[in-house]
Amino acid sequence: MSGQKRATLSRGVRLGAEALGRPRSSAMRRQEARDGYLMILPWLVGFLGLVLGPMIASFLISFTNWQLVVAPQWIGLENYVTMLSKDSLIRASLADTAFYAFISTPLYACIGLGLALALQRRRRGLYFYRTIYFLPSITPVVASTLLWMLIFEPSFGWASYVLQFLHLPQQLWLSDPHEAKPVLIVMYLWGAGGSLPIFLAGLNAIPAELYEAAAVDGASGWRIFRGITLPLVSPVLFFILVTGFIAGFQVFTPAYVATGGTGNPEHSTLFFALYLYNNAFRYLNMGYASAMAWLLFVIVLGFTIVQFGVARRLVYYESSPDA
């Protein structure tokens, strides 16, 4: 670099440093604030109009008896009293939802982690298998549910043919109240590859030196997984579990498509979100449905807070260098 260019660069660096250290005027600060608010204006309008506004309206509607076609009537806490003490379907729907969420979410996380471990190492056709396992997660839920309904059709479905080939008793699948929820869980687990990229990112972030040191010490595969892989991938696992439980508590589409919104047989698939939808748009009881929505919000929020409390002891986060 010539002396002239070096001098020009040095002068530019000096002027930039002086500009950074120079106190900004009040007019400049106001201009920066206006620019900042202008940049976030689209998000702010969307948040107020599509999130906060409807939430406030839903909270107020939950204290009314509103049948949509007539003016709402203020009834206070009557919807909440009915929901918590008089409506037996509320308890049944909560039980169905809890069964689905607490069975499907851990299995979803375990399958996703297992697939990531199997597909982490370089091998022939690696990207092909990663793509194949990920594709079901981007298939539209309605389309995949209809496909699985054909598979589990009692008369001519592939699942029945397999049982017949193995000389096992035939099952009613979605027509049996004891089998309907497990079938819906199987439908959900078909898309467990959706967590594959996240788990792969977490696994690839683990330093290879740790595995090399464990191998030198003669650690077995299980001890390496329990002592290195699982702790270091626990933040990713925690994220999958939190988002999975939130989605599990709000399960709606598979049950709606498979049962036509009825939650049959014998209300065994009447999940809470499905029952909420029926109250709002089938029975036109919008006030009661709004109260149900807030109950679901409190349940999901409370369980998420519990998960974060447990995570303080079970989830490992590497300390930053400055900590």
Task: Kindly report, residue by residue over 179-220, the tens digit of the pLDDT.
Answer: 999 999 999 999 999 999 999 999 999 998 999 999 888 888
DSSP of 139-197: S-HHHHHHHHHHHT-TTT-HHHHHHHHTT-----GGGSTTTHHHHHHHHHHTTGGGGHH
Helices (H), 217-285: 221-224, 230-249, 253-259, 272-277
Percent of the chain having pLDDT more than 90? 71
Confidence grade of residue 323 (pLDDT, cut at 50, 70, 90): very low
Closest by CA position to 142, among listed 260, 241, 264, 278: 260
pLDDT at residue number 241:
96
Provide mean pLDDT across the span 28-36.
87
The three-class DSSP label of residue 90 is helix
